[in-house]
Amino acid sequence: MYMNKFRLDDRVAVVTGAARGIGFAIAEALAEAGARVVLTDYDAKALDDAVARLAATGATVEGEVFDVTDAAAAQRVNDAIVARHGRVDVLVNNAGIAISDHPAESMSDETWSRVIDVNLTGVFRACRAFGRGMLERGGGSIVNIGSMSGFIVNRPQEQVNYNASKAGVHHLTRSLAAEWGARGVRVNAVAPTYIDTEMNQYVHAKENEARLQGWVGNTPMHRLGRVDEIASVVLFLASDAASLMTGAIVLADGGYVCW
Ligand code: NDP
């Protein structure tokens, strides 16, 4: 009875920024739970490779190019998927970028806007386009990838753009949950700690040893996170196992915010 609630058989799920990293792991998890997963990313070649890698495992997956900063793209991608499969049941807004080590007093408008456009406006537009269809059909589950950076200020890197974007994602999540709760659409977020992806590869360089030690030392569990540890939380929130949850921001941070 309980394990079935985690299954996503016959559901159509869409993941943004799914060509690699956390997004790819999320696509893998949702497919393993039985969903038909549409991986999306803005790099067509990387997307094709990712879809081929997952399809080779027997997963039911397909790709759709989607740049979340393209104002018209969310509606276009939603409509294309609905035309093929009739609906979208699960949307995971994972695409995100960081431009760090820019002190606020000298940050350019461009550096500010680039991060806000991808991380916050991109999430809003996708929620709006896909959410509309979910509301019409009376159900759906959206999971946004926020960050512990929406709760704390990272150190030592200066990244007011990223931190503000993720705090924005968290409150966007709560706002949509409140607006759409009575109409069957749940909206939740996951807030990860430092995860060992491309985004953070630079920290393994010899010259960044002190930064890596700082990150790990500030984490009660004393390590970075893995992509599968975020994907499993997303799977839970996307599924009926979380049927009473909306507006939740679930920290998966190894205890980072405890200190
Ligand atoms: P990666 O950089 O490894 O992967 C992000 C993916 O999103 C890439 O495939 C990237 O494409 C794609 N992407 C970037 N811009 C766009 C766009 N405009 N439209 C569509 N796709 C785009 O990142 P992670 O897997 O580490 O991060 C995933 C999410 O998790 C992000 O929202 C991030 O902020 C969040 N997060 C990550 C943490 C971490 O420590 N890694 C910690 C907390 C939150 P391309 O490779 O071509 O740029």
Q: Catalytic site residue 42?
A: no
Tens digit of each residue's pLDDT (9 = 90 or more) over 53-76: 999 999 999 999 999 999 999 999
Which domains does the chain carry?
A: 3-251 (3.40.50.720)
Confidence label for 172 from pLDDT (cuts 50, 70 and 90): very high
98 CA distance to ligand 1 middle (Å): 8
**Ligand 1, from 51, 76, 97: best to mutate by most atoms within 8 Å of Cβ?**
97
pLDDT of residue 93: 99
Confidence label for 119 from pLDDT (cuts 50, 70 and 90): very high
The active-site residue out of 162, 194, 202, 256 is 162
125 CA distance to ligand 1 middle (Å): 17
Which of helix, strand or coil describes residue 64?
strand
Sheet holding 61-65, edge to edge: 61-65, 36-41, 12-15, 90-93, 140-145, 185-192, 249-252
Residue 61 and residue 55 in contact, taking contact as beta carbons nearer than 8 Å? yes
